[in-house]
Amino acid sequence: MNTRRIEEEMARVKCWTAALAIGLLLMTLVGECYGQLRFGYYNNKCRKVDVEAFVFFIVKKHFIQEKHTVAALIRLQFHDCFIRGCDASILLEGQGSEKTAPPNQSVDGYDIVEEAKVALDRQCPGVVSCADIIVLAARAATFLGGASWYSVETGRKDGRISRANDALQSLPGPSMPIPQAVQVFAQHGLNTEDFVYLLGCHTVGTAHCATFQDRLYNFRNSGRSDPSMSRLLRVSLQKTCPRNFISSKETFLDQTKRSEFRMDNGFFKRILKGEGVLEVDQQLAFHPLTRNIVIRAASNENIFKNKIGPAMRKLGLVGVITRGEVRLGTCKKVR
């Protein structure tokens, strides 16, 4: 990643934020808000610390060490926001919490959010919410992965309730039919394009054998493999996930070589060739509700890079709490 590009982008963001602040003042100090949520919420609230830049550079440090940081933080935001809204409830520890639900067993990035929270609370205790840190960290990861920068509102408060059953009921599965998945996203205020671009984040993701093994050997209890999967991909995945063997191995959801950690349109190109690892990913390319969006994204590498930011921003507005508390000192527990 080009360090100069990142620093220049952050400088532009700071200038943009300053200009926005003036604009908001001229527009009756309201601007584009969602309740108490607004752009630049933390300006001058944490001593001299630029909260958004601080979170960015913590994520950048981890990204330099581990490229999987991109997928981890994007997935963390999704799994938080789809369960009780974007309230950082996924971070809470304890028996029967969201963290313990099977769909969340492979979620990662908790340590990055916790590092940012602990460090920020040394400067301004109880000011920056864990819910905002998740959204800011996911924004940083999306950009570091190669997508366009996007602005996000802040001012979220943290939730106190975290239940594994909520995760089991709320998170869409890897085999969910496209119409049903589109409807689930619509219930959260996300349209069909948002749905396609958010699933496009699988361009940097991975999946364990258990989430797609049925497609290799016993698709829908047919005793055969999924006919929509290309033969080359099937043979490759069968080596990773042998028949009648419970494997903990995982594979990249975007099979494009040397593109596994980049927010590009390789995923869309692959699923058009029948090379989607998850059933829901593959069906994106075939179903009439989503096929044309996939074709457009596959034909122009800039579409996904520019569209994913607005989709992530909308995801970050799901079920936001703007009146309540901010966890103190840690994101792992409430006071």
Range of weakest confidence among 8-12, 104-108, 276-280: 8-12
Residue 172 burial (CB count, 10 A): 17
Sign of the CA dihedral running 13, 131, 37, 70: positive
Phi first, then psi: what are they for 218, rounded to 5°?
Answer: -150, 60
Listed by start position, the domains of the chain span 3-170, 178-313
Task: Kindly tell me if the per-residue pLDDT of 86 is higher than 50.
Answer: yes
Q: ∠ at Cα 125 (121, 128), nearest 5°?
A: 70
Cα gap 316→110, rounded to integer Å = 17
Give the confidence band of 322 by pLDDT, cuts at 50, 70, 90: very high
Q: Which CATH class for the 3-170 domain?
A: mainly alpha
Residue of 62, 68, 79, 188 with catalytic role:
79
pLDDT given for residue 258 in this prediction = 87
Q: Which residues pair with 206 in a beta bridge?
A: 252
Task: Kindly tell me if the per-residue pLDDT of 23 is higher than 60.
Answer: no
Sign of the CA dihedral running 225, 228, 231, 237: negative
**Amino acid letter for position 192:** T
- Judge contact between 196 and 284, C-beta under 8 A: yes
Give tens-digit pLDDT for 171-230.
Answer: 999 999 999 999 999 999 999 999 999 999 999 999 999 999 999 999 999 999 999 999
Q: What is the average per-residue pLDDT within 86-97?
A: 96
Give the confidence band of 1 by pLDDT, cuts at 50, 70, 90: very low
Whether 79 is catalytic is yes
Is 98 labelled as part of a ligand binding site?
A: yes
Is 85 labelled as part of a ligand binding site?
A: yes
Q: Judging by DSSP bridges, how do beta strands 250-252 and 206-208 pair with one another?
A: antiparallel
Is 142 labelled as part of a ligand binding site?
A: no
Is 172 labelled as part of a ligand binding site?
A: yes
Helices 192-199, 301-315: inter-axial angle, 10-degree rounding = 110
Distances (CA, A) of 209 to 223, 307, 326: 17, 30, 38
Q: What is the pTM of this model?
A: 0.88
* Residue 250 Cα to chain centre, angstroms: 19
The CATH number of domain 178-313, selected from 3.40.50.620, 3.30.110.30, 3.40.50.10490, 1.10.420.10: 1.10.420.10
Give tens-digit pLDDT for 226-257.
Answer: 999 999 999 999 999 999 887 789 999 998 98
Name 222's Cβ contacts closer than 8 Å, sequence gap at least 6: none
Distances (CA, A) of 111 to 102, 114, 137: 19, 5, 12
Is 175 labelled as part of a ligand binding site?
A: no
